Amino acid sequence: MQQPQAEVPNAGAPIIDIPSPIGPIKPLPADHGLANEERKAIAAGDLDKEAAVTKHSRDEKFRDHLSNARIGIFWLLVIAFMGMLGVLIFHWITPWCFLSPSQLDTIKTIIGTALASKIFAEQSKHL
């Protein structure tokens, strides 16, 4: 036995009800002559020159930041090296030995490697 179907309200109404605009459509903002200036700059070739200058400026800023980062890293390494050297010398001159043998070997290895690489780098410049 079939059940009676319920009647769907608004069966003939459209699925999407799109309201009409209430007021007039707003005009696009004025470009204040920028389009004409751009057209003239393209015709004269000025945009290519300006782009080259801007690119050069960006490249130089990046190189400056990279140079500053290198200098910062250099000084961090110098401070770390001097700190390790100071700890090693302090360990040697004090009557109590506060570094374990493994710590002492690690510091000696790091300092020795840094000094050896510096010596070899200096000697390779003279070859």
pLDDT digits (tens, 9 = 90+) for 45-55: 777 888 888 89
pLDDT on residue 124: 87
Residue 110 CB burial class (10 angstroms; 0-12, 13-18, ≥19) = middle
pLDDT band at 76 (very low <50, low <70, confident <90, very high): very high
Give the tokens for residue 6.
Answer: 């319920």
- pTM tops 0.85, yes or no: no
Contacts of 41 (CB under 8 A, 6+ apart): 47, 50
